[in-house]
A and B are shown apart, each in its own frame.
Chain A
Amino acid sequence: MNLTLKIWRQEDSKAKGRMVDYKVTEISEHMSFLEMMDVLNEQLVNKGEDPVAFDHDCREGICGMCSMYINGEAHGPDRGVTTCQLHMRMFKDGDTITIEPFRATAFPVIKDLVVDRSSFERIQQAGGYISVNTSGNTQDANSIPISKHAADEAMDAAMCIGCGACVASCKNSSAMLFVGAKVSQYALLPQGQVEAADRVRNMVAQMDLEGFGNCTNTGACEIECPKGISLENIARMNRELMKASV
């Protein structure tokens, strides 16, 4: 199929960006979206133009590196996938596809479609861990039984790949689904209880400091999340913070 791409081009973080139109031809429906971008870039390199910079790495939907806001949705129109797992069969011959970087004040653009998500790093550094020494002199792994239900629920929260689609999709650029998932994983496990109050307070404080917006419960994040992280995690974080504050 032949497509028109409208892509955000921005030289660096300080430059003013703009949308630029490109044409790609003979795109196979079996290609992934990023393979389509590879075709475009190969074309640009051969013409001596600057290829479009975009983040990507594992290309199997787990590293969370790829981003892109495609036709008005984070990771494009398919559900439960990252951009690298999005296939061109979701589009039709002759389509015009708009491709923008994830937008948020806390995610400044580095170049073209690449954004800086280090705000997520700082939130996790503020408390996204259990303070256990890595010496291996911990107690036996089976000494604290954890109910299957709690373990499974913690796992569901822990599946978050930190891609930032929640922030990008939220009309308020809120990071609460991400932070909620991180807080929840530990809140659900007995190992996480000792530091629970400090953890949620510090992580939320850092989240606010980074300039993310507030949650208005639109639920867009949950729908666009490639890993199906549930809104319940936000509710749990709210409860945890209330518990920590009284």
Chain B
Amino acid sequence: MALNSKIPEGPIKDKWTDYKNHINLVNPANKRHIDIIVVGTGLAGGSAAATLAELGYNVKAFAYQDSPRRAHSIAAQGGINAAKNYMGDGDSTYRLFYDTVKGGDYRSREANVYRLAEVSANIIDQCVAQGVPFARDYGGLLDNRSFGGVLVSRTFYAKGQTGQQLLLGAYSAMNRQIARGKIEMFNRHEMLDVVKVNGKARGIIARNLVTGEIERHSAHAVVIATGGYGNVYYLSTNAMGSNVTAAWKIHKKGAYFANPCFTQIHPTCIPRSGDYQSKLTLMSESLRNDGRIWVPKNIEDAKALQQRKMKPTDISEENRDYFLERRYPAFGNLVPRDVASRAAKERCDAGFGVNATGEAVYLDFAAAIERYGKTQAKVQNLENPSKEKIYDLGKAIVEEKYGNLFQMYEKIVDEDPYKTPMMIYPATHYTMGGIWVDYNLMTTVDGLYCIGEANFSEHGANRLGASALMQGLADGYFVLPYTIGDYLANEIRTGKIPTNTPEFDEAENEVKERLNFFINNKGEHSVDYYHKKLGKIMWDKVGMSRNEKGLTEAMAEIKELREDFWKNVKVPGKLDEMNPELEKAGRVADFLELGELFAKDALMRNESCGGHFREESVELDGEQKGEAKRNDAEYAFVAAWEYKGEPSAAILHKEKLEFKDIELKQRSYK
């Protein structure tokens, strides 16, 4: 099937408005007869469910947690971008659009990104009206901060918990609709398959995670908003339950999976402390504004640090390697996430890691404390302040800026980051890839939509900070509720979708068969055993830096691991009860397929762009020697994969990316 992105004609700034003016609408009386299923209740799913219900559709929403408010959107710290230009610093829709496309290393769809930038301002209005307590200045107006990679301050925030507050906003909107009976909420339910009738998505099969019951739910359209698949790496900053299952199931039923290899590895996470590690914790990127990143210059010092025979403060200034400042003098510690992550990995791979696992670099605030301390001493007119005084003054400033992050670090690592440098290491954070969708956010299956991190979306090969929240809410509040009407306008005469049809029978049987297999397979290894192995393959060979050999090996190894999984996995317990191991088994089974497609996509894309770095595609000489090299001539396309049985058999469909409003440039941070 040829891909049709359905991008409207016309100048970019009028596309969305014109499109909305001509789109099909469903009259209010008819909306009452139309059902929509929304799977996932994070920012995208929650806001979509609330808005669709408010428009008058009957919504059934599904979450695997015990409340929509627990979706992992809640963990976003930094903020949400919006082109409000409240600061009067020259921001505009175009600038936000430009920054997002550039930040995504020119692998996103212009029209979608422009629309996102356009509706961004509305999100803030909406959230404030809902009672989201954004930070304000003393005049009572909304405050903004700046975020990496851009030249303006356009990030709105609510302490370090912006994601939480936005999600609670969407959740409150959902609650209002639940109370009105317009949303039927299914907590502790997991979607295990989509049901297609005559080529259209008509429902889902879900498992009640409390009773184990398999349920059929029908609707006129199905919306998937189940987030990213970063947990394919086992360790990531995602929640333990974050999974690819819903996205993977629809992929198997005909939805193309786009750019699976585009993953964001965040440089400032708290390092792994041992093999038992279950997840990684992100420290806000803002820390890089003041922290200096370094490892020892001498390998002996690194060894001593790894064996805890030495303390970082014992290493003198001349024996430290501030590798980001050394390699990227222009941007220094503020290079984009992918560049910082790769540089840290390079040093650690060379043996300069600073903790017991050898997988950590220092993020040092001593210089910042001293610098702030001296400034403060001047401000307070102190003559010849003592070293201690300067330290105290500086510490107070750093505490004010990052106090909560330092506290969080201390709780986890049990070291005082004011006294000894923090240790950080990159971790998987966000997946830009996902289900392919057209301008309407519809997948390649009719009536099946995908929004939020789950779709391949607006971030191209790399996402800018504070843009994930923006996209989730834009999709859910302002885009999908319009575009879905275009499809549903043809469904007003369909009537209730029955669930006692052969299509539902078949889907339910498939689901049951698989669950039965897990319970009855008396294998040897736990689900986590396989998940950890998969994670290791992914991290080592499909991680921050990829090459042909590693990727080919990874594909074979994942396939082998998958085959072993289906022979030897052990799942205790019963079907008809709460059974977390059974839930995990299904999710890991899907990761084991996705992982291979992921590697296949990375292998196909023989260029370095954004979060995807191919060792074969680097600048060979000049100032940029050794840096990532994008190949626009051959790879300026979205890779949409069609499922054909085995992941390795997937067929590639290319959606060519055209850049009419932005000139393509190679990134440089030297």
Contact = CB atoms under 8 A, between A and B. Distances in A.
Contacts of A55: 66
A135 B414 CA distance: 46
B609 to A, nearest CB: 30
Contacts of A114: 578
A148 B140 contact: yes
B51 A134 contact: yes
A138 B660 CA distance: 33
A160 to B, nearest CB: 9
Given A60-B279, A87-B414, A130 B131 contact: yes
Interface string A123-148: 01110111111111011111011111
Which of A62, A116, A154 counts the most chain B CB atoms within 10 A? A62
B526 interface: yes
A20 interface: no
A147 to B, nearest CB: 5
Contacts of A110: 210, 578
A74 B101 CA distance: 46
Contacts of A45: 526, 570, 572, 581
Contacts, number: 217
B416 interface: no
B375 to A, nearest CB: 24
Contact of A189 (B71, B133, B171, B528): B133
Contact of B139 (A38, A85, A121, A145): A145
B462 interface: no
Given A155-B165, A191-B129, A124 B175 contact: yes
A236 interface: no
Contacts of A53: 578, 580
A18 interface: no
A81 B241 CA distance: 20
A38 B142 contact: no
Which of A58, A64, A89, A110 counts the most chain B CB atoms within 10 A? A58
Contacts of B210: 110, 116
A1 interface: no
Nearest to B526: A45
A56 interface: yes
Interface in A148-189: 148, 151-152, 154-155, 158-159, 161-162, 185-186, 189
Contact of B54 (A134, A139, A142): A134
B406 interface: no
B258 interface: no
B420 to A, nearest CB: 16
B220 interface: no
A208 interface: no
B141 A87 contact: no
Given A57-B72, A60-B75, A158-B165, A131 B176 contact: yes
Contacts of B577: 11-12, 111
Interface stretch (A27-35, A215-223, A238-246): A27-35
A117 interface: yes
A186 B133 CA distance: 9
Contact of B172 (A50, A57, A128): A128
B239 A59 contact: yes
- How extensive is the interface on chain B, given as a class? 35 or more
A120 interface: yes
B1 interface: no
Interface stretch (B119-127, B197-205, B452-460, B651-659): B119-127
A1 to B, nearest CB: 13
B5 interface: no
Contacts of A61: 408
A51 interface: yes
A161 to B, nearest CB: 8
A38 B165 CA distance: 30
A76 to B, nearest CB: 12
B187 A60 contact: no
A111 B210 CA distance: 9
Contact of A151 (B130, B136, B580): B136
Which of B74, B134, B139 counts the most chain A CB atoms within 10 A? B74
A37 B240 CA distance: 14
B70 interface: yes
A118 B578 CA distance: 16
Interface in B72-105: 72, 74-75, 84, 86
B622 interface: no
A12 to B, nearest CB: 6
B509 interface: no
A148 B158 CA distance: 12
Contacts of A93: none
Contact of A185 (B51, B127, B129, B133): B133
Nearest to A81: B411
A21 interface: no
A85 B412 contact: yes
A186 B179 CA distance: 18
Contacts of B278: 32, 34-35, 38, 59
User: Top 9 closest A-B pairs, CB basis?
Assistant: A145-B140, A129-B172, A136-B122, A138-B129, A155-B133, A141-B128, A154-B133, A30-B273, A57-B239
Interface of A: 11-12, 28, 30-32, 34-35, 38-39, 42, 44-46, 48-51, 53, 55-65, 78, 80-81, 85, 87, 89, 110-111, 114, 116-118, 120-121, 124-126, 128-136, 138-142, 144-148, 151-152, 154-155, 158-159, 161-162, 185-186, 189, 191-192
24 contacts: A28-B273, A30-B273, A48-B570, A50-B572, A57-B240, A59-B240, A63-B65, A64-B70, A78-B411, A81-B411, A89-B414, A114-B578, A121-B67, A125-B175, A136-B478, A144-B128, A145-B139, A146-B140, A151-B133, A154-B131, A158-B133, A161-B164, A186-B131, A191-B131
